[in-house]
Chains A and B, each alone.
Chain A
Amino acid sequence: MDAELILMQLFSGVALGAILVIAALGLSIIFGMLGVVNFAHGALFMVGAYAGLWVASVTGSFWWGLLAAPIMVGVFGMVVEYVLVRPLYGRSIDDPLLLTFGLSYVLVEAVRMIFGSDGIPFPTPPQLTGVWDLGVGFFPIYRLFVVGVVILVLVLLWLGLEKTKFGLIVRAGARDPTIMKVLGVDISKVWLLVFGLGAGLAALGGVLAGPMRSVNPEMGSLVLAEAFVVTVIGGLGSLLGSIIAGVLVGIAISMTALFAPEMATIVMFALMAIVLLIRPEGLFGKLA
């Protein structure tokens, strides 16, 4: 086991972490701001991949797919919030969870009906094929691109939340929605946009993942589990927590791959269980 291999393994862990982060971000935002556990998150991820694929095949360019899919699914997310989730606020906290659970069945089957149950190829854009020699090993250029996009999105998100008035409202609304209403803010618009943002981020993850894995209707269920693990470890509702947790989990999986790669999924869930038992609010979360 030489140093080069370990370094390379660390790097692929971080890269894997980036993918986990973008997958978990949407879930974390919706829970943090709205208190809703979106069980349809994995399905939205999958719908994003299909949307991106469809736009790419119609326009002939991956880049249009990358741009259009998150917007399309984001709008869809807003519709879902308005029609399905909003009537449930004020009722039991479990209801949105249950509703989105049923919704995921509907979405997966709808995609099967439209696109079929088989996997569909999602070709890597020609500008991004090939590998780069990083010195410690070869790494696909496309994955480096994905890491780059994730970093960009995180920066934009941080800027949006910390530096804009809208971001201020969102953060305040998460802290105390009643006061926001008293202050005259139309909190329902905020919820709409936050749900849309969460859905759009899920879709972005899906489009980015498409060229790396086969696109099929079941691709969302594993992602849902991974997103839960990352969100819970990081802290339900904490963006910084999701980021750190994502990278941590990526590295954990990667290091496990050096000794017992078949244990990777067990390690993931064991980590989640341990964090939940020692510090249920996660590394950076706030206890409800």
Chain B
Amino acid sequence: MTDIIRNITQKKISRRSALAGLGAGASLLAMPWAARAADDTIRIGFPTPLTGPFAAEAKDQVKSAELAVKQFNDKGGIGGRKIELLVRDDKLNGGEAATRTLELIEKDKVHAIVGSLSSAVQLAVNEVTRARGVIYVSISQSDTINELKDFSKFTFHEALNPHMTAGAVARHTFKKGAKVAYLSADYAYGHEMLRGFKRAQAAIGAESVGELLHPFGAADYSTLMPRLRSMRPEILCISNFGRDQANSIKQAVDFGLKQQMKIVVPVLLHNQRLAVGPEVFEGVVGGANYYWGLESEIPSAKAFNDAFRAANNGAIPTDYGAYGYTGIYSLLLAMQAAGGTDTEKVIAALEDLKYNIAKGPQHYRKCDHQSIQSVLVLESKKKSDMKSDMDLFQVVANEPASEEVLRSCTELGFPG
């Protein structure tokens, strides 16, 4: 496949020199890209939403990814070949992401793709990569990408999925007989979270006193507060993401709900906590893939943090930022084990890989290529308890990596 494309490119270069006169101006723009003929570097595409509401998370991911690449390159690369990270802005938009992925594969000849930051975008990238036989390691939450319909042997999911995070949070906050109310965003992700919570709730023996859905992207939750209060729950479980999470928690606190009930969320987001401040988030419990505070217990976390601090003026990696590191690093480890970029060999190496690079032991499950890893449960700290500006959360629990917290292969639609 790559050879066919390479042949066309080589034909293109000679035709371009013939047409140079005609498209002089435009060709000038195209020249730098044309110079990318066959060469030895290992190229990894990295689409991420550099513009849009998650720009901060995206930039964190880029920094962490670049750290991973640098660490490998400093050790001599893979088999003597240097690694290059090609970062592209997918604008948090499925169509853009698909176009960037096509460009990365067709024009830049990447050997694999790692990214991105929303469920829709991941699935868009995945459609492009699996049709063309390119490895894709996705690093954002999604239950859908594990399912048979979207899966392919080229698809790997290094991030947590809603099922894992909701389950972990539920196990550490729901008690038998507890009354739980649910407020969820009315879109796939919200429903996936809700489903994860309800499963865990049933297993624990807690009781649901009501479920409300809100429109995805809603700014005002005031009309939902009276109903939530009238349900008299002990725990309010809010399943949404990003600004929705910040707004809904803030308004729940404004309406005095926190005095009546405990607020839990599936994923406690670092940047949203910064967006609304410590008072609003105080006492909220949620899950996460990574928190820099792990360094006191886990040596690989400390190593990661130290390297990140050294490269970024003392800054610490955030939750989503860490995905950039673990995604790229695990891929590079597999390439190293496979001795190169041969797709089939790298897939086999990824399936066999056992790695511990930032948070403890991880490995990919064979049936759906989901990375089995620990899930953190965090509680947001009171302002007075914060020892530094970055001391946002308290690690309440660290569920060790286990296949049991995932949906079974058969449930996802895989044979056997």
Contact = CB atoms under 8 A, between A and B. Distances in A.
Asked whether A and B interact, the reply is yes
Contacts of B219: 213, 219, 222-223
B255 A213 contact: no
A123 B226 contact: no
Contacts of A112: 55
B397 interface: no
B271 A118 contact: yes
Given A261-B223, A264-B215, A119 B243 contact: yes
B256 interface: yes
Given A117-B52, A118-B56, A218-B53, A213 B213 contact: no
Contacts of A238: none
A247 B174 CA distance: 40
B215 A121 contact: no
A253 interface: yes
B243 to A, nearest CB: 6
B127 interface: no
Contact of B276 (A19, A214, A258): A214
B217 interface: yes
Interface in B238-267: 243, 246-247, 250-251, 254-256
A16 B223 contact: yes
Contact of B215 (A138, A212, A258, A262): A262
A280 to B, nearest CB: 26
B225 interface: yes
A13 interface: yes
Contacts of A265: 215, 217-218
Interface in A61-118: 112, 116-118
Interface string B207-227: 000001111011110111111
Contact of A16 (B186, B215, B222): B222
Interface string B48-62: 000111111000000
Contact of A143 (B212, B217, B222): B222
Contacts of A119: 243, 246, 271-272, 274-276
B388 interface: no
Contact of B227 (A5, A116, A140, A264): A5
A137 interface: yes
Contacts of B251: 212-213
B258 to A, nearest CB: 11
A222 B276 CA distance: 19
Contact of B275 (A118, A140, A222): A118
Interface in A233-288: 253-254, 257-258, 260-266
A38 interface: no
B186 to A, nearest CB: 4
A18 to B, nearest CB: 11
A138 B254 contact: no
Interface residues of B, number: 39
Interface string A1-36: 000010011001101100100000000000000000
Contact of B212 (A9, A13, A124, A261): A261
Interface in A118-137: 118-121, 123-124, 130-131, 137
B223 A12 contact: yes
Nearest to B274: A118
Specify the main secondary structure of chain A where it touches its partner: helix
A120 B275 contact: yes
Given A117-B55, A253-B223, A212 B218 contact: no
A257 B224 contact: yes
A8 B226 contact: yes
A114 B291 CA distance: 28
Interface string A216-235: 10110011000000000000
A142 interface: yes
Q: Which of B213, B275, B280 has the most CB of A within 10 A?
A: B275
Contacts of B243: 119, 214, 216, 218
A139 B223 CA distance: 11
B275 A121 contact: yes
Contacts of A5: 226-227, 230
Contacts of A261: 212-215, 223-224
Contact of B220 (A19, A142, A262, A263): A19
B302 interface: no
B229 interface: yes
B361 interface: no
B277 interface: yes
A262 B186 contact: yes
Nearest to A254: B223
B52 A257 contact: no
B227 A262 contact: no
Interface in B271-287: 271-272, 274-277, 279-280
Contacts of A123: 277, 279
A251 B247 CA distance: 21
A255 to B, nearest CB: 8
25 contacts: A5-B226, A112-B55, A117-B53, A117-B54, A118-B55, A118-B56, A119-B243, A121-B280, A123-B277, A124-B254, A130-B256, A138-B256, A212-B220, A212-B254, A213-B219, A213-B247, A214-B275, A214-B276, A216-B275, A222-B217, A253-B223, A261-B212, A261-B213, A261-B224, A264-B215
Given A12-B225, A265-B217, 18 more contacts: A9-B227, A16-B220, A118-B271, A119-B274, A119-B276, A130-B256, A137-B229, A139-B255, A140-B255, A142-B254, A212-B250, A213-B250, A214-B250, A214-B272, A218-B53, A257-B227, A261-B214, A264-B215
Those 8 A-B pairs whose CB atoms lie nearest each other, nearest first = A119-B275, A262-B186, A121-B277, A117-B55, A262-B213, A257-B223, A8-B226, A254-B223
